[in-house]
Amino acid sequence: MPGRVLCAALLAAFLVILPHLAQADDSAPGAKLYVNFCQGCHGADRSGIGQFAGEFEALQLILEGETIDQMPDFYGVFDDTEVAALYAYLTTPL
């Protein structure tokens, strides 16, 4: 478990700089996940993600149904790589 936490922390740190390096790519894995799981409620322009604080851990909690009652619980739906891809997409400018 500590190894997984360390891996998630390192991945989150890397992903913090990612938005500054690239523009959103509609063919990226995170974009595909967003279209398939999020766009229906949050919009194609991501305007409906107002409660997302921009932190990797916040996204994990949201997806696990820990923080937002109105959202479906996606606990166990996404693996760590998919959560990281979705985070990268959400934090990259359109």
> Tens digits of per-residue pLDDT, 35-73?
999 999 999 988 888 766 678 988 888 888 887 778 888
In the prediction, which pLDDT does 25 show? Answer: 60
Q: What is the largest CA-CA distance in the chain?
A: 36
In the prediction, which pLDDT does 51 show? Answer: 60
Cα separation of 39 and 79, whole Å? 19
Cα separation of 63 and 83, whole Å? 9
In the prediction, which pLDDT does 53 show? Answer: 66
* Structural domain of 45: 2-90
Which distant-in-sequence residues (6+ apart) come within 8 Å of 19 by Cβ? 88, 91, 92, 93
In the prediction, which pLDDT does 66 show? Answer: 83
Q: What is the pTM of this model?
A: 0.68
Quick check: 58 and 65 in contact, CB under 8 A?
no
Phi and psi at residue 92, to the nearest 5°: -100, 130
Cα separation of 82 and 94, whole Å? 19
Give the number of domains in the chain: 1
